Amino acid sequence: MNQRTNILLIVVVVAIVAVTGVFVATQLGGSDVVSAPTAAPTAVVENPATATSIPASPTAAVTAAESDSPLTAPVAPLPPTIYDYTVVKSYPHDPNAFTQGLVYLDGVFYEGTGLYGRSSLRKVAPETGEVLQQHDLEETFFGEGIAVLGDEIYQLTWQNGVGFVYDRASFAEKRRFTYTTEGWGLTHDGENLIMSDGTPTLYFRDPATLEEVRRITVTVSGEPVMRLNELEYIDGRILANVWQTDYMLRIDPATGVVDGIYDFTGLLAQAPPSTSPTAPDVLNGVAYDRETGRFFVTGKLWPAVFEVEMHPR
């Protein structure tokens, strides 16, 4: 890396950690904050209606641990690589869809949307944005991340502690499952479901029993990262959107170490004007075409889905 890239890397890493740190400090200080309440001591809750982008400006310094002996000094993790994007193509997207989960499979998008009274599971034509099939959740459920595994679709809810399993073809509900954390993002590695709950923890669950198999803590440069949201599994790595930032993290599923940071600053500005009375919200939605390698990104209430290519900075 050259000196400029090293400086940019430090800025990005510190920004992610700083945003997390400011939020945790506010909660521990007892401030009356309503934009992100907590349901558990370690869980940061996503506010559906008032979420706005937090400027990723560095406000803290990262210091290395010291040791008197080089033999006992901790081994510093390798710094993650920062990636920039190039927009290949944009596709129309329902600007009223509060995107919580996105999957590309067999030529269509499967999309999970949120907000009370507006949550749904959809099948969408990428080229036109037309909703081909839709299942609406009951008004008491706030829909979250989805995963398609085999002939089933899994969908989380935010604070209900309930998930749904649907028949992929008909969208008919087959069964429900429960969990004690919040539900945020969902993907799979071909064997297990992988779930986020807004904390630095990712949970691996057996898709048949939905029981937890194992868990990892996600860290960037040795620091745990909160607000892990929408997930995708790409080429042996987990990709996680960091809520209220323009960043996605590439995570080693064995260790939880972040080895790449995708910077999507300015992406929304390349979308056409929205036709919705509600302004577009934060980045949240990532899908991958495993047959062609195409990579798709969108956000909550965004008027476009972007096909992008990533390249190291």
CATH architecture of 81-312: 6 Propeller (2.120)
Task: Please give the helix or strand (H or E) that residue 241 lies within, else none.
Answer: strand 237-242
Residue 63 has pLDDT above 60, yes or no: no
DSSP state string for 266-293: TSGGGSPPP-SSSPP--EEEEEE-TTT-
**Could you report the per-residue pLDDT of 244-300, keeping only the tens digit for each?**
999 999 999 999 999 999 999 999 999 998 888 888 999 999 999 999 999 999 999
Name the least confident of 29-38, 134-143, 268-277. 29-38
Tell me how far apart the alpha carbons of residues 22 and 310 are, in angstroms, rounded to a whole number: 29
Tell me how far apart the alpha carbons of residues 125 and 187 are, in angstroms, rounded to a whole number: 21
Give percent above pLDDT 90 in the chain.
Answer: 72
**Could you report the per-residue pLDDT of 266-278, keeping only the tens digit for each?**
999 999 988 888 8
Q: What number is the average pLDDT over the span 112-137?
A: 97
pTM over 0.85: no
Query: pLDDT class for 75, splitting at 50, 70, 90?
Result: low
The count of other CB atoms within 10 Å of the CB of residue 117 is: 11
Residue of 292, 154, 180, 300 whose CA lies nearest to 229: 300
**Could you report the per-residue pLDDT of 156-215, keeping only the tens digit for each?**
999 999 999 999 999 999 999 999 999 999 999 999 999 999 999 999 999 999 999 999
Q: What number is the average pLDDT over the span 131-152?
A: 97
Contact status, residue 250 vs residue 261, Cβ threshold 8 Å:
yes
Give the pLDDT of residue 2. 54
Name the least confident of 19-23, 168-172, 252-256, 302-306. 19-23
- E-assigned strands of 77-119? 81-92, 99-105, 108-113
The larger pLDDT score, comparing residue 46 to residue 252, is at: 252
Residue 64 has pLDDT above 80, yes or no: no
